[in-house]
Structure 1
Amino acid sequence: MRYVKSLSLFQDLLKTDGLERGRLLGLDVGTPYIGLAVFGLNNNIASPLSVLVRKKYNIELIADNFKCLISELSLEGFVVGLTFDRQKSTTDSVLVKLFLDELSNTNKLTGIKYTYWDERFTSRNVEMLIKPLNLHPVHSKTIVDKFAAVGILQEYLDYVNKKQKK
């Protein structure tokens, strides 16, 4: 796995032929779930995909799941939600970076590029939207994580598409 700047990830994707163009996966890395979202083939709509259970001992299984998704969905890279705070590193940001280091150390995702995207308020926004539904806490948490990943990926796509038009 290799970190690249936000615009570089998208520009590399656009360099491939339209018929063979891969996709990006949005990740909302949390505890105990990792929310996943994927964008549509036309590069402008993010959709919820699923959640993965994250535990300290299952990093190899998570890497295997990502490897399957890369193959099935023609994934080129990951857009990973990270809380940007210029004043200090947040605990959540450190945990996300450690998670990516662990994933990288499995050596199962070589060639995959990733970038970070500011995820501030994505989970909170989804929580506020679904609160009136009075869902079971576990069901609510998985929905929040999935749709937070959609928010991360959609904000990223909106930004890079806007930059491409300039």
Structure 2
Amino acid sequence: MKLVKPIELFQKFLNSGSMEQGRLLGLDVGHKYVGLAVSDTCNKIASPLSVLVRKKTNIDLMAKDFRTLAAQVRLFVEDLRKTGKLDDLSYTYWDENYTSKCVEALLHPLNLHPVQTKTIMDKFAAVGILQGYLDLMHRWNSNPGDISER
């Protein structure tokens, strides 16, 4: 796995010719769960996919508990990279500030069971992260001079 800048990842994706075939995956990495979201085949809309449970017993797939979110995500990606099973993939980091809080505010009036709320929140936080990336990258692709590179 190779770390690239957000715009570089999108450019690489566009130039590969796989834009209409490939999909992008968004992750919301937390202490106990990892929310997953996937883009549609046109890479314009993010949808919830699933939630992975992070346990010490599945250490090959999940990273250990971390002190900060930034370290947590970087170490999680590093653990995935070390498996060698994703060497042909590129990844980037995207700001996820307030995605969980936004989803929590939307879910609060529904009075769902706490376990159900947590699962939905993790999935839709990943959707918010991936959708934010897709939206900015499509705006950048339409008018590259108007958006500064992150």
User: What is the root-mean-square deviation of aligned Cα atoms in Å?
Assistant: 1.9
Change (3 A) 1:101 1:26: same
Normalising by structure 1, what TM-score?
0.78
Tell me the distance in 2 between the aligned counterparts of 1:56 and 1:19: 36
For 1:4, the equivalent position in structure 2 comes to 4
For 1:102, the equivalent position in structure 2 comes to 79
The percentage of aligned residue pairs carrying the same residue is 58
How many matched pairs?
A: 140
Is residue 163 of structure 1 aligned with residue 125 of structure 2? Answer: no
Stretches of structure 2 lacking an aligned partner (at least 5 in a row):
144-150
Paired amino acid for 1:153: L
Normalising by structure 2, what TM-score?
0.86
Tell me the distance in 2 between the aligned counterparts of 1:127 and 1:150: 13
Paired amino acid for 1:4: V
The structure carrying a bigger strand percent of its residues is 1
Preserved CA contact (<8 Å) 2:39 2:45: yes
Tell me the distance in 2 between the aligned counterparts of 1:161 and 1:19: 12
Paired amino acid for 2:104: E
- Report how far residue 20 of structure 1 moved: 6.2
Residue 112 (structure 2) aligned to one of 118, 122, 135 = 135
Preserved CA contact (<8 Å) 1:9 1:113: yes
Is residue 27 of structure 1 aligned with residue 48 of structure 2? Answer: no
For 2:90, the equivalent position in structure 1 comes to 113
For 2:60, the equivalent position in structure 1 comes to 60
